[in-house]
Amino acid sequence: MTVKTEVSRFHIHDELTAPDPSAQILKSIQMKGRSVNKLVGVLAGSPAVLRAYTRMRVELQKGELPVATRQRIALAVAEHRGDDYSVAQYAKTARAAGLGLDEVSKARSFGSDDPKEEALLIYLKAALEAEGAPPIYLHEEAREAGWTDEEILEALAHVAMGEFQSLMAAAAALPKDQGTPKVLPDAA
């Protein structure tokens, strides 16, 4: 059944309404015991987009970055983009990954109590906001904090994926998923 809310600009597909190539991907997601969120339902409207998104996501999950770091990056990018849908999603998954409420809040503004995590987040924020290359000293500070080039490259890819997700969620004007806790704006 296609779900069309008052604010959704695209159909939110499931395995019954999606084009056949997308339906196969949605079924495989469900067979792995995962639920199909609204963003994936929207992306299912284009099999090429859904394939690209799921492949990048799967490959990055196999990477070297710790889950908590990936969650911090996702929260920071979603907040930076003003993407309430993704902020709510990632606040929930970050808590499940072991981040406390303080860390979730700090991550939303590219911060952390962990100096290593914060050095990476500050670099990523500069990369996101730069009109060219981010300052070299921030790259060096991330390295000095203990991040390898492989991890920094992976972190940048997570930023790109977060930007993509937020762009799609905003373009679709996605409402929050049922059961997604309301996340209050940062006090900062």
Residue 58 confidence (pLDDT): 92
Are 127 and 38 contacting, i.e. CB atoms less than 8 angstroms apart?
Answer: no
Are 73 and 97 contacting, i.e. CB atoms less than 8 angstroms apart?
Answer: no
Please give the model's pTM, rounded to 2 decimal places. 0.86
Instruction: Point out which residues pair with 12 in neighbouring strands.
Output: 3
Structure tokens at 187: 């006090």
Are 29 and 40 contacting, i.e. CB atoms less than 8 angstroms apart?
Answer: yes
Rounded Cα distance between 74 and 108, Å, is 9
Structure tokens at 128: 């996101």
Q: Is the dihedral of CA 80, 82, 87, 89 positive or negative?
A: negative
Rounded Cα distance between 94 and 112, Å, is 13
Structure tokens at 66: 């710790």
Are 129 and 138 contacting, i.e. CB atoms less than 8 angstroms apart?
Answer: no
Average pLDDT by stretches of 10, the chain with 188 residues: 60 91 92 87 95 95 96 97 91 94 97 98 96 94 98 98 93 70 36
Instruction: Point out which residues pair with 3 in neighbouring strands.
Output: 12
Residue 2 confidence (pLDDT): 52
Whether domain 67-172 has CATH 1.20.1290.10 = yes
For every residue of 51-86, DSSP letters joined together read: HHHHHHHHHHHTSSS-HHHHHHHHHHHHHHTT-HHH
Rounded Cα distance between 158 and 178, Å, is 25
Residue 184 confidence (pLDDT): 33
Domain ranges of the chain: 1-62, 67-172
